[in-house]
Chain A
Amino acid sequence: MVRRNVFEILKHSKKVTKEDFCKFAKEKGIKSLKPDMNWDEIEKEVRMDARVDLSDIRNRWPEEFGIEVEKEKGEEKEGKGKEEQEEGKKEGEEVEKEEIKTEEEWEEVDTEEEEGVKIIKEEELEGGEEGFIEHLKNIFSSFLDELFRKKDKFQLGIYGATNVGKTTLANQISEDWLGEEVGKTSAIPHETRKIQQKENIKIKKRGKELTINLVDTPGISTKVDFEEFLDYDFDEKDAKQRAKEATKGIIEAIRYLDDMDVVLAVMDSTKDPLSQVNLTILGNLEARGIPVLIVANKLDKNKANLERIKAAFPQYETVGISAKEGSKMDELYEKIFQVTR
Protein backbone atom coordinates (compact mmCIF):
# COMPACT_ATOMS: atom_id res chain seq x y z
CA MET A 1 0.00 0.00 0.00
CA VAL A 2 1.42 3.38 -0.90
CA ARG A 3 0.55 6.81 0.37
CA ARG A 4 -0.97 7.73 -2.96
CA ASN A 5 -3.41 4.89 -2.62
CA VAL A 6 -4.34 5.95 0.87
CA PHE A 7 -5.48 9.30 -0.37
CA GLU A 8 -7.09 7.86 -3.46
CA ILE A 9 -9.09 5.55 -1.23
CA LEU A 10 -10.03 8.38 1.11
CA LYS A 11 -11.03 10.50 -1.86
CA HIS A 12 -13.47 7.83 -2.98
CA SER A 13 -14.53 6.70 0.46
CA LYS A 14 -18.19 7.00 1.32
CA LYS A 15 -17.48 6.62 4.99
CA VAL A 16 -14.58 8.99 5.59
CA THR A 17 -15.50 12.58 4.90
CA LYS A 18 -13.15 15.50 4.63
CA GLU A 19 -14.61 16.75 7.92
CA ASP A 20 -13.60 13.46 9.57
CA PHE A 21 -10.11 13.66 8.15
CA CYS A 22 -9.62 17.30 9.18
CA LYS A 23 -10.74 16.43 12.69
CA PHE A 24 -8.31 13.52 12.77
CA ALA A 25 -5.47 15.73 11.45
CA LYS A 26 -6.28 18.37 14.05
CA GLU A 27 -5.91 15.77 16.78
CA LYS A 28 -2.46 15.03 15.36
CA GLY A 29 -1.55 18.71 15.47
CA ILE A 30 -2.20 19.76 11.87
CA LYS A 31 -4.62 22.64 12.16
CA SER A 32 -4.25 24.06 8.67
CA LEU A 33 -6.65 21.59 7.04
CA LYS A 34 -10.17 22.69 6.28
CA PRO A 35 -13.12 20.68 4.96
CA ASP A 36 -13.57 23.09 2.04
CA MET A 37 -10.12 22.14 0.72
CA ASN A 38 -10.07 19.50 -1.99
CA TRP A 39 -8.41 16.13 -1.36
CA ASP A 40 -5.33 17.06 -3.39
CA GLU A 41 -4.75 20.11 -1.22
CA ILE A 42 -5.29 18.04 1.92
CA GLU A 43 -2.85 15.42 0.67
CA LYS A 44 -0.22 18.03 -0.12
CA GLU A 45 -0.48 19.54 3.37
CA VAL A 46 -0.26 16.14 5.04
CA ARG A 47 2.69 15.05 2.90
CA MET A 48 4.60 18.15 3.93
CA ASP A 49 3.92 17.54 7.61
CA ALA A 50 5.69 14.83 9.55
CA ARG A 51 3.08 14.69 12.29
CA VAL A 52 0.76 12.35 10.45
CA ASP A 53 2.21 9.07 9.33
CA LEU A 54 0.70 6.85 6.66
CA SER A 55 0.10 4.11 9.17
CA ASP A 56 -1.78 6.55 11.43
CA ILE A 57 -4.31 7.12 8.69
CA ARG A 58 -4.72 3.46 7.96
CA ASN A 59 -5.01 2.54 11.61
CA ARG A 60 -7.64 5.22 12.10
CA TRP A 61 -9.90 3.75 9.39
CA PRO A 62 -8.61 0.16 9.01
CA GLU A 63 -11.80 -1.18 7.49
CA GLU A 64 -11.57 1.37 4.66
CA PHE A 65 -8.27 -0.16 3.64
CA GLY A 66 -9.34 -3.72 4.30
CA ILE A 67 -6.17 -4.35 6.25
CA GLU A 68 -7.25 -5.06 9.78
CA VAL A 69 -5.07 -7.19 12.05
CA GLU A 70 -3.42 -9.41 9.44
CA LYS A 71 -2.09 -6.50 7.40
CA GLU A 72 -0.65 -4.85 10.46
CA LYS A 73 1.30 -8.01 11.29
CA GLY A 74 2.68 -8.02 7.76
CA GLU A 75 3.79 -4.44 8.18
CA GLU A 76 5.62 -5.21 11.38
CA LYS A 77 7.59 -7.91 9.59
CA GLU A 78 8.50 -5.76 6.66
CA GLY A 79 9.46 -2.87 8.91
CA LYS A 80 8.42 0.71 8.75
CA GLY A 81 11.62 1.87 7.01
CA LYS A 82 11.09 -0.58 4.17
CA GLU A 83 7.51 0.51 3.77
CA GLU A 84 8.62 4.09 3.35
CA GLN A 85 11.24 3.11 0.79
CA GLU A 86 8.68 1.04 -1.09
CA GLU A 87 6.37 4.00 -0.97
CA GLY A 88 8.94 6.22 -2.71
CA LYS A 89 9.67 3.50 -5.24
CA LYS A 90 6.09 2.85 -6.12
CA GLU A 91 4.90 6.37 -6.01
CA GLY A 92 6.28 7.27 -9.42
CA GLU A 93 4.74 4.18 -10.97
CA GLU A 94 1.42 4.93 -9.35
CA VAL A 95 1.50 8.54 -10.50
CA GLU A 96 2.14 7.42 -14.07
CA LYS A 97 -0.79 5.03 -14.00
CA GLU A 98 -3.03 7.32 -12.04
CA GLU A 99 -4.32 9.23 -15.03
CA ILE A 100 -5.81 6.17 -16.69
CA LYS A 101 -7.12 4.32 -13.62
CA THR A 102 -10.74 4.23 -12.63
CA GLU A 103 -11.98 4.01 -9.10
CA GLU A 104 -12.55 0.28 -9.49
CA GLU A 105 -9.02 -0.20 -10.80
CA TRP A 106 -7.59 1.56 -7.79
CA GLU A 107 -9.46 -0.82 -5.57
CA GLU A 108 -8.08 -3.74 -7.56
CA VAL A 109 -4.52 -2.50 -7.11
CA ASP A 110 -5.07 -2.17 -3.38
CA THR A 111 -6.49 -5.66 -3.16
CA GLU A 112 -3.56 -7.11 -5.10
CA GLU A 113 -1.12 -5.44 -2.77
CA GLU A 114 -2.98 -6.82 0.20
CA GLU A 115 -2.86 -10.30 -1.29
CA GLY A 116 0.86 -9.89 -1.92
CA VAL A 117 1.40 -9.39 1.78
CA LYS A 118 -0.73 -12.43 2.61
CA ILE A 119 1.14 -14.73 0.16
CA ILE A 120 4.44 -14.17 1.95
CA LYS A 121 2.79 -14.81 5.27
CA GLU A 122 1.13 -18.03 4.11
CA GLU A 123 4.29 -19.42 2.50
CA GLU A 124 6.23 -18.60 5.55
CA LEU A 125 3.74 -20.35 7.81
CA GLU A 126 3.06 -23.37 5.63
CA GLY A 127 6.59 -23.95 4.29
CA GLY A 128 8.34 -24.03 7.63
CA GLU A 129 12.10 -23.52 7.20
CA GLU A 130 11.88 -23.36 3.38
CA GLY A 131 9.18 -20.77 3.60
CA PHE A 132 11.28 -18.73 5.94
CA ILE A 133 14.29 -18.91 3.56
CA GLU A 134 12.00 -17.89 0.71
CA HIS A 135 10.88 -14.96 2.77
CA LEU A 136 14.50 -13.94 3.43
CA LYS A 137 15.18 -14.18 -0.31
CA ASN A 138 12.27 -11.84 -0.97
CA ILE A 139 13.62 -9.34 1.51
CA PHE A 140 17.12 -9.53 -0.02
CA SER A 141 15.69 -9.16 -3.51
CA SER A 142 13.70 -6.09 -2.45
CA PHE A 143 16.85 -4.64 -0.91
CA LEU A 144 18.76 -5.09 -4.19
CA ASP A 145 15.90 -3.59 -6.17
CA GLU A 146 15.96 -0.61 -3.86
CA LEU A 147 19.73 -0.29 -4.13
CA PHE A 148 19.84 -0.21 -7.90
CA ARG A 149 16.53 1.33 -8.70
CA LYS A 150 16.45 4.57 -10.60
CA LYS A 151 15.22 7.63 -8.82
CA ASP A 152 11.88 8.76 -10.18
CA LYS A 153 11.77 12.29 -8.87
CA PHE A 154 14.59 14.83 -8.85
CA GLN A 155 15.25 18.05 -7.03
CA LEU A 156 16.42 20.22 -9.91
CA GLY A 157 18.13 23.35 -8.64
CA ILE A 158 18.79 26.44 -10.70
CA TYR A 159 21.94 28.16 -9.49
CA GLY A 160 24.08 30.99 -10.75
CA ALA A 161 25.23 34.55 -10.21
CA THR A 162 22.74 37.42 -10.07
CA ASN A 163 20.95 38.53 -13.24
CA VAL A 164 21.94 35.56 -15.37
CA GLY A 165 18.30 34.65 -16.03
CA LYS A 166 17.64 31.91 -13.48
CA THR A 167 14.04 32.86 -12.81
CA THR A 168 13.40 33.44 -16.52
CA LEU A 169 14.62 29.90 -17.09
CA ALA A 170 12.55 28.52 -14.20
CA ASN A 171 9.48 30.29 -15.62
CA GLN A 172 10.15 28.89 -19.07
CA ILE A 173 10.44 25.32 -17.77
CA SER A 174 7.38 25.67 -15.57
CA GLU A 175 5.33 27.29 -18.32
CA ASP A 176 6.33 24.60 -20.79
CA TRP A 177 5.09 21.78 -18.57
CA LEU A 178 2.73 23.29 -16.01
CA GLY A 179 1.53 26.39 -17.78
CA GLU A 180 2.35 28.65 -14.87
CA GLU A 181 5.17 30.94 -13.74
CA VAL A 182 7.56 30.39 -10.84
CA GLY A 183 8.41 33.99 -10.01
CA LYS A 184 8.76 37.57 -11.04
CA THR A 185 11.70 38.70 -13.15
CA SER A 186 13.29 42.11 -13.50
CA ALA A 187 16.51 43.84 -14.46
CA ILE A 188 17.08 44.85 -10.83
CA PRO A 189 19.70 42.63 -9.20
CA HIS A 190 18.51 40.28 -6.46
CA GLU A 191 14.89 40.30 -7.65
CA THR A 192 14.65 36.71 -6.40
CA ARG A 193 15.47 36.84 -2.71
CA LYS A 194 13.80 33.65 -1.59
CA ILE A 195 13.84 30.07 -2.77
CA GLN A 196 10.94 29.49 -5.19
CA GLN A 197 9.71 26.01 -5.99
CA LYS A 198 7.36 24.20 -8.32
CA GLU A 199 6.73 20.60 -7.47
CA ASN A 200 5.93 17.60 -9.62
CA ILE A 201 6.78 19.01 -13.02
CA LYS A 202 6.63 16.16 -15.50
CA ILE A 203 8.99 16.55 -18.41
CA LYS A 204 8.17 14.27 -21.31
CA LYS A 205 10.60 13.42 -24.06
CA ARG A 206 10.61 10.59 -26.62
CA GLY A 207 8.05 8.60 -24.70
CA LYS A 208 9.92 8.96 -21.41
CA GLU A 209 8.86 10.96 -18.42
CA LEU A 210 10.86 12.65 -15.71
CA THR A 211 9.34 14.20 -12.61
CA ILE A 212 11.18 17.13 -11.09
CA ASN A 213 10.78 19.53 -8.24
CA LEU A 214 12.06 22.76 -9.70
CA VAL A 215 13.99 24.95 -7.24
CA ASP A 216 14.76 28.49 -8.34
CA THR A 217 17.37 30.07 -6.08
CA PRO A 218 18.48 33.64 -5.37
CA GLY A 219 21.61 34.65 -7.28
CA ILE A 220 24.88 33.92 -5.51
CA SER A 221 27.10 36.92 -4.99
CA THR A 222 30.10 37.85 -2.87
CA LYS A 223 28.79 41.38 -2.32
CA VAL A 224 25.53 43.20 -1.73
CA ASP A 225 25.54 46.98 -1.64
CA PHE A 226 22.27 48.74 -0.86
CA GLU A 227 23.48 51.77 -2.83
CA GLU A 228 23.20 49.67 -5.97
CA PHE A 229 19.42 49.68 -5.54
CA LEU A 230 19.29 53.47 -5.26
CA ASP A 231 19.97 53.55 -9.00
CA TYR A 232 16.63 51.79 -9.48
CA ASP A 233 14.57 54.46 -7.73
CA PHE A 234 14.44 52.80 -4.32
CA ASP A 235 14.57 55.12 -1.33
CA GLU A 236 17.33 54.41 1.18
CA LYS A 237 15.11 52.53 3.61
CA ASP A 238 13.73 50.21 0.92
CA ALA A 239 17.16 49.76 -0.61
CA LYS A 240 18.59 48.69 2.76
CA GLN A 241 15.69 46.31 3.30
CA ARG A 242 16.19 44.80 -0.12
CA ALA A 243 19.92 44.39 0.57
CA LYS A 244 19.13 42.65 3.84
CA GLU A 245 16.73 40.27 2.10
CA ALA A 246 19.30 39.65 -0.62
CA THR A 247 21.97 38.57 1.87
CA LYS A 248 19.52 36.22 3.57
CA GLY A 249 18.53 34.83 0.15
CA ILE A 250 22.16 34.05 -0.72
CA ILE A 251 22.64 32.20 2.56
CA GLU A 252 19.42 30.27 1.93
CA ALA A 253 20.52 29.32 -1.59
CA ILE A 254 23.82 27.98 -0.25
CA ARG A 255 22.02 25.96 2.44
CA TYR A 256 19.74 24.37 -0.16
CA LEU A 257 22.63 23.14 -2.28
CA ASP A 258 22.96 19.85 -0.40
CA ASP A 259 19.32 19.00 -1.13
CA MET A 260 19.76 19.07 -4.89
CA ASP A 261 19.91 15.96 -7.06
CA VAL A 262 20.82 17.84 -10.23
CA VAL A 263 21.79 21.46 -10.79
CA LEU A 264 21.53 23.74 -13.77
CA ALA A 265 24.41 26.20 -13.41
CA VAL A 266 23.17 29.20 -15.34
CA MET A 267 25.67 31.63 -16.85
CA ASP A 268 25.21 34.81 -18.83
CA SER A 269 26.80 34.04 -22.19
CA THR A 270 27.50 37.74 -22.82
CA LYS A 271 29.85 37.86 -19.83
CA ASP A 272 33.18 36.38 -18.83
CA PRO A 273 32.35 32.96 -17.37
CA LEU A 274 35.52 32.76 -15.27
CA SER A 275 34.00 34.55 -12.30
CA GLN A 276 34.66 33.40 -8.77
CA VAL A 277 30.95 32.77 -8.22
CA ASN A 278 30.79 30.37 -11.17
CA LEU A 279 33.97 28.62 -10.06
CA THR A 280 32.69 28.33 -6.50
CA ILE A 281 29.34 26.91 -7.56
CA LEU A 282 30.89 24.36 -9.91
CA GLY A 283 33.60 23.44 -7.39
CA ASN A 284 31.01 22.80 -4.70
CA LEU A 285 28.81 20.71 -6.95
CA GLU A 286 31.79 18.64 -7.98
CA ALA A 287 32.90 18.20 -4.36
CA ARG A 288 29.39 17.09 -3.40
CA GLY A 289 29.04 14.78 -6.39
CA ILE A 290 25.93 16.57 -7.65
CA PRO A 291 25.48 16.25 -11.42
CA VAL A 292 25.57 19.61 -13.14
CA LEU A 293 24.63 20.98 -16.51
CA ILE A 294 25.91 24.40 -17.51
CA VAL A 295 23.20 26.50 -19.13
CA ALA A 296 24.66 29.31 -21.22
CA ASN A 297 21.74 31.74 -21.24
CA LYS A 298 20.96 34.92 -23.19
CA LEU A 299 22.01 33.52 -26.55
CA ASP A 300 19.58 35.98 -28.13
CA LYS A 301 21.97 38.84 -27.30
CA ASN A 302 24.50 40.06 -29.85
CA LYS A 303 27.43 39.73 -27.48
CA ALA A 304 26.58 36.13 -26.56
CA ASN A 305 29.52 33.77 -26.79
CA LEU A 306 28.68 30.13 -26.14
CA GLU A 307 32.13 28.91 -27.15
CA ARG A 308 33.80 31.01 -24.45
CA ILE A 309 31.82 29.16 -21.78
CA LYS A 310 32.54 25.79 -23.34
CA ALA A 311 36.26 26.64 -23.49
CA ALA A 312 36.29 27.80 -19.86
CA PHE A 313 34.64 24.63 -18.56
CA PRO A 314 35.41 21.89 -21.07
CA GLN A 315 34.82 19.14 -18.49
CA TYR A 316 31.13 20.04 -18.15
CA GLU A 317 28.17 19.44 -20.41
CA THR A 318 27.01 22.84 -21.70
CA VAL A 319 23.85 23.81 -23.50
CA GLY A 320 23.17 27.24 -24.98
CA ILE A 321 19.67 28.67 -24.74
CA SER A 322 17.64 31.83 -24.62
CA ALA A 323 15.26 31.42 -21.70
CA LYS A 324 13.63 34.72 -22.60
CA GLU A 325 12.72 33.57 -26.08
CA GLY A 326 12.34 29.92 -25.14
CA SER A 327 14.80 28.86 -27.79
CA LYS A 328 16.83 25.64 -27.62
CA MET A 329 14.71 24.44 -24.71
CA ASP A 330 14.24 21.04 -26.34
CA GLU A 331 17.99 20.60 -26.33
CA LEU A 332 18.05 21.53 -22.66
CA TYR A 333 15.35 18.97 -21.77
CA GLU A 334 17.26 16.34 -23.70
CA LYS A 335 20.39 17.12 -21.68
CA ILE A 336 18.45 17.06 -18.41
CA PHE A 337 17.29 13.54 -19.28
CA GLN A 338 20.91 12.57 -19.98
CA VAL A 339 22.24 14.05 -16.73
CA THR A 340 19.57 12.36 -14.61
CA ARG A 341 19.92 8.99 -16.30
Chain B
Amino acid sequence: MENELSIHFMPLEAFQVLGRDEKLEMLVERSKEEEITVVEGLLKPDEEMDLIKATMEEIEGEEENNKFTGVEIGSITLKRSWLKKKKSLSQKLKALLLKYLIGRERGLTVIGPASLVKEVKQNPEKLTLRVE
Protein backbone atom coordinates (compact mmCIF):
# COMPACT_ATOMS: atom_id res chain seq x y z
CA MET B 1 0.00 0.00 0.00
CA GLU B 2 1.30 3.45 -0.86
CA ASN B 3 2.85 5.63 1.83
CA GLU B 4 2.54 2.90 4.41
CA LEU B 5 5.37 1.04 5.95
CA SER B 6 4.95 -2.03 8.14
CA ILE B 7 7.66 -2.81 10.61
CA HIS B 8 7.23 -6.05 12.45
CA PHE B 9 9.10 -6.40 15.71
CA MET B 10 10.10 -9.84 16.88
CA PRO B 11 11.36 -10.19 20.45
CA LEU B 12 14.23 -12.52 21.16
CA GLU B 13 12.06 -15.07 22.97
CA ALA B 14 9.62 -15.34 20.09
CA PHE B 15 12.43 -15.67 17.56
CA GLN B 16 14.51 -18.19 19.44
CA VAL B 17 11.70 -20.68 19.88
CA LEU B 18 11.36 -20.99 16.13
CA GLY B 19 13.14 -23.79 14.31
CA ARG B 20 15.73 -22.97 11.70
CA ASP B 21 13.45 -23.46 8.71
CA GLU B 22 10.60 -21.64 10.43
CA LYS B 23 12.82 -18.62 11.01
CA LEU B 24 13.91 -18.48 7.37
CA GLU B 25 10.41 -19.06 6.03
CA MET B 26 8.97 -16.37 8.28
CA LEU B 27 11.60 -13.81 7.28
CA VAL B 28 11.28 -14.49 3.56
CA GLU B 29 7.47 -14.59 3.67
CA ARG B 30 7.28 -11.28 5.50
CA SER B 31 9.64 -9.72 2.97
CA LYS B 32 7.47 -11.04 0.16
CA GLU B 33 4.55 -9.31 1.85
CA GLU B 34 6.50 -6.05 1.76
CA GLU B 35 7.06 -5.97 5.49
CA ILE B 36 10.21 -5.02 7.33
CA THR B 37 11.08 -7.29 10.24
CA VAL B 38 13.20 -6.20 13.16
CA VAL B 39 14.46 -9.16 15.12
CA GLU B 40 15.86 -8.79 18.60
CA GLY B 41 18.79 -11.08 18.08
CA LEU B 42 21.18 -12.21 15.43
CA LEU B 43 21.14 -14.93 12.85
CA LYS B 44 23.99 -17.40 13.02
CA PRO B 45 26.41 -17.17 10.08
CA ASP B 46 25.07 -20.35 8.50
CA GLU B 47 21.50 -19.13 9.00
CA GLU B 48 22.43 -15.96 7.14
CA MET B 49 23.78 -18.04 4.25
CA ASP B 50 20.67 -20.21 4.29
CA LEU B 51 18.53 -17.08 4.25
CA ILE B 52 20.35 -15.93 1.10
CA LYS B 53 19.83 -19.37 -0.44
CA ALA B 54 16.14 -19.39 0.49
CA THR B 55 15.80 -15.89 -0.94
CA MET B 56 17.39 -16.93 -4.24
CA GLU B 57 15.06 -19.91 -4.47
CA GLU B 58 12.08 -17.63 -3.92
CA ILE B 59 13.26 -15.15 -6.59
CA GLU B 60 13.66 -18.03 -8.99
CA GLY B 61 10.22 -19.40 -8.04
CA GLU B 62 7.74 -20.16 -10.77
CA GLU B 63 4.85 -18.32 -9.09
CA GLU B 64 2.80 -16.24 -11.44
CA ASN B 65 3.52 -12.51 -11.16
CA ASN B 66 6.43 -13.22 -8.87
CA LYS B 67 7.81 -9.77 -8.20
CA PHE B 68 10.05 -10.76 -5.34
CA THR B 69 13.57 -9.51 -6.01
CA GLY B 70 15.21 -10.40 -2.74
CA VAL B 71 15.95 -8.82 0.59
CA GLU B 72 18.17 -6.31 2.25
CA ILE B 73 19.63 -7.33 5.58
CA GLY B 74 21.38 -5.34 8.24
CA SER B 75 22.53 -6.24 11.69
CA ILE B 76 24.11 -4.53 14.61
CA THR B 77 25.87 -6.37 17.36
CA LEU B 78 27.02 -5.57 20.81
CA LYS B 79 30.44 -6.90 19.95
CA ARG B 80 30.86 -4.64 16.98
CA SER B 81 29.58 -1.49 18.59
CA TRP B 82 29.17 -1.21 22.29
CA LEU B 83 32.26 -3.07 23.42
CA LYS B 84 34.47 -1.11 21.07
CA LYS B 85 33.66 2.12 22.83
CA LYS B 86 35.74 3.09 25.80
CA LYS B 87 33.51 1.72 28.51
CA SER B 88 34.64 1.13 32.05
CA LEU B 89 35.88 -2.29 33.04
CA SER B 90 32.83 -2.97 35.21
CA GLN B 91 30.50 -2.10 32.32
CA LYS B 92 32.39 -4.45 30.04
CA LEU B 93 32.25 -7.21 32.64
CA LYS B 94 28.50 -6.72 33.08
CA ALA B 95 28.02 -6.89 29.31
CA LEU B 96 30.08 -10.04 29.02
CA LEU B 97 28.20 -11.62 31.95
CA LEU B 98 24.90 -10.79 30.28
CA LYS B 99 26.14 -12.29 27.04
CA TYR B 100 27.14 -15.42 28.93
CA LEU B 101 23.73 -15.66 30.62
CA ILE B 102 21.79 -15.14 27.42
CA GLY B 103 24.00 -17.66 25.73
CA ARG B 104 24.57 -15.85 22.48
CA GLU B 105 25.70 -12.56 21.11
CA ARG B 106 23.20 -9.75 21.47
CA GLY B 107 22.14 -7.54 18.65
CA LEU B 108 19.42 -6.50 16.24
CA THR B 109 18.71 -7.74 12.74
CA VAL B 110 16.63 -5.90 10.20
CA ILE B 111 15.33 -7.66 7.11
CA GLY B 112 13.21 -6.02 4.46
CA PRO B 113 12.20 -6.53 0.85
CA ALA B 114 14.71 -5.24 -1.70
CA SER B 115 11.83 -3.62 -3.57
CA LEU B 116 11.30 -1.36 -0.58
CA VAL B 117 14.61 -1.17 1.25
CA LYS B 118 17.11 0.13 -1.25
CA GLU B 119 20.14 0.30 0.97
CA VAL B 120 21.28 -0.62 4.46
CA LYS B 121 24.25 1.15 5.97
CA GLN B 122 25.84 -0.55 8.91
CA ASN B 123 27.71 1.91 10.96
CA PRO B 124 28.87 -0.07 13.98
CA GLU B 125 26.79 2.31 16.11
CA LYS B 126 23.59 2.40 14.07
CA LEU B 127 21.70 0.97 11.14
CA THR B 128 20.49 3.28 8.41
CA LEU B 129 17.88 2.11 5.94
CA ARG B 130 17.12 3.96 2.73
CA VAL B 131 13.54 3.16 1.87
CA GLU B 132 11.72 4.08 -1.34
Contacts and interface: CB of A to CB of B under 8 A. Distances in A.
26 contacts: A220-B52, A221-B70, A222-B52, A222-B73, A222-B114, A223-B55, A223-B59, A243-B59, A244-B60, A250-B52, A250-B56, A251-B53, A251-B57, A254-B49, A272-B122, A274-B123, A276-B48, A276-B72, A280-B45, A280-B48, A280-B49, A284-B45, A284-B46, A284-B49, A286-B45, A287-B44
Nearest to B120: A276
Contacts, number: 76
Contacts of B48: 276, 279-280, 283-284
Contacts of A192: none
A287 B45 contact: yes
Given A247-B60, A280-B52, A222 B44 contact: no
Interface string B96-113: 000000000000000000
Q: In the complex, which range does the number of interface residues on chain B fall in?
A: 20 to 34
Contacts of A243: 59
Nearest to B113: A223
A283 B74 contact: no
A130 B101 CA distance: 58
Interface string B113-132: 01000001111100000000
Contact of A224 (B46, B53, B56): B56
A275 interface: yes
A276 B74 contact: yes
Interface of A: 220-227, 243-244, 247-248, 250-251, 254, 257, 272, 274-276, 279-280, 283-284, 286-287
Interface of B: 44-46, 48-49, 51-53, 55-57, 59-60, 69-75, 114, 120-124
Q: Is the interface of A mostly helix, strand, loop or mixed?
A: helix
A222 B122 CA distance: 15
B52 A254 contact: yes
Contacts of A276: 48, 72-75, 120, 122
Contacts of A284: 45-46, 48-49
B75 A222 contact: no
A274 B55 CA distance: 21
Contacts of A254: 49, 52-53
B96 to A, nearest CB: 18
